């Protein structure tokens, strides 16, 4: 699963990589983004332009009776997207990129759970495949826009840490994934793959990240022990 991640990449690099227009506001750096926080995403708006959207992490389906369901829907399994009532409509109609500089995963070791920060070797940001929904609690209120991160089977070095990994989209697939007119899941499903072995690398980091209230670049300091 993906239960915590970070985004702290440079603004200009973010605009260029994700095709965002000039004037897009800079994203405040966060080193410990947790469920029920608002996280940076990119989606195509009604005018056909890619735009940054800060979405609540924990998908709340439009038919939900209460917001609390979102805390249980932070991830969506790629293998069952077309079957699950919570995700199948968003899969066809409301897709987004969830922007990350890296994500955290925990490995069970004799000394306790060791957090790993999984990132690109060059430090560049990347896109995790996401879904989004709009939910209104009461008529007349502003909608809550929320998202979930799609996960798939891990492989290579990452599988030694955890058996699931976010579905990572390459830049050549952004346009297809974000196209609101594309509803054919036979075209979408092949895009939902884990990163090729070596594209992301794990770094054992401070256990301070275990507490979701902790923030700052010091969370990425190498762990003194990882075994």
- d(Cα 38, Cα 56) in Å, to the nearest integer? 4
Q: What is the pTM of this model?
A: 0.95
- Taking only the tens place, the pLDDT of each residue in 153-195 is 998 889 999 999 999 999 999 999 999 999 999 999 999 998 8
- Taking only the tens place, the pLDDT of each residue in 40-92 is 999 999 999 999 999 999 999 999 999 999 999 999 999 999 999 999 999 99
Catalytic residue at 105?
yes
**Catalytic residue selected from 96, 105, 133, 145:** 105
Report which DSSP code applies to 51. Answer: E
Beta strand residue intervals within the chain, DSSP E: 5-7, 30-33, 38-44, 50-57, 75-77, 95-100, 102-109, 112-119, 126-135, 144-153, 164-166, 168-169, 201-204
- d(Cα 191, Cα 158) in Å, to the nearest integer? 19
Catalytic residue at 2?
yes
- Taking only the tens place, the pLDDT of each residue in 6-47 is 999 999 999 999 999 999 999 999 999 999 999 999 999 999
- d(Cα 165, Cα 195) in Å, to the nearest integer? 8
**Catalytic residue selected from 2, 96, 133, 145:** 2
- d(Cα 99, Cα 128) in Å, to the nearest integer? 6
Residue 198's pLDDT band (cuts 50, 70, 90): confident
pLDDT at 226 over 60: no
Q: Name the nearest CA neighbour of 50 among 101, 102, 95.
A: 95
């Amino acid at each position: 699963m993906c239960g915590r991640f970070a985004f702290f990449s440079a603004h200009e690099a973010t605009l260029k990589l994700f095709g965002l227009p000039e004037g897009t506001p800079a994203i405040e750096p966060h080193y410990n983004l947790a469920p029920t926080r608002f996280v940076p995403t990119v989606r195509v708006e009604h005018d056909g332009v890619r735009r940054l959207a800060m979405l609540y992490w924990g998908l709340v389906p439009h038919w939900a009776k209460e917001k609390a369901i979102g805390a249980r829907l932070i991830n969506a399994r790629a293998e069952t997207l077309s079957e699950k009532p919570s995700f199948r409509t968003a899969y066809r109609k409301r897709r987004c990129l969830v922007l990350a500089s890296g994500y955290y995963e925990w490995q069970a070791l004799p000394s306790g759970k060791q957090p790993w920060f999984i990132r690109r070797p060059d430090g560049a940001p990347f896109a995790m495949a996401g879904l989004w929904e709009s939910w209104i609690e009461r008529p007349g209120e502003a909608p809550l826009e929320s998202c979930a991160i799609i996960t798939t089977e891990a492989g290579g070095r990452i599988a030694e840490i955890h058996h699931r990994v976010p579905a990572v989209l390459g830049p050549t697939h952004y346009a297809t994934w974000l196209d609101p007119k594309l509803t054919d899941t036979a075209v979408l499903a092949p895009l939902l793959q884990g990163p090729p072995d070596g594209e992301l690398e794990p770094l054992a980091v401070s256990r301070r990240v275990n507490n979701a209230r902790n923030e700052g670049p010091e969370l990425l300091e190498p762990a003194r022990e990882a075994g």
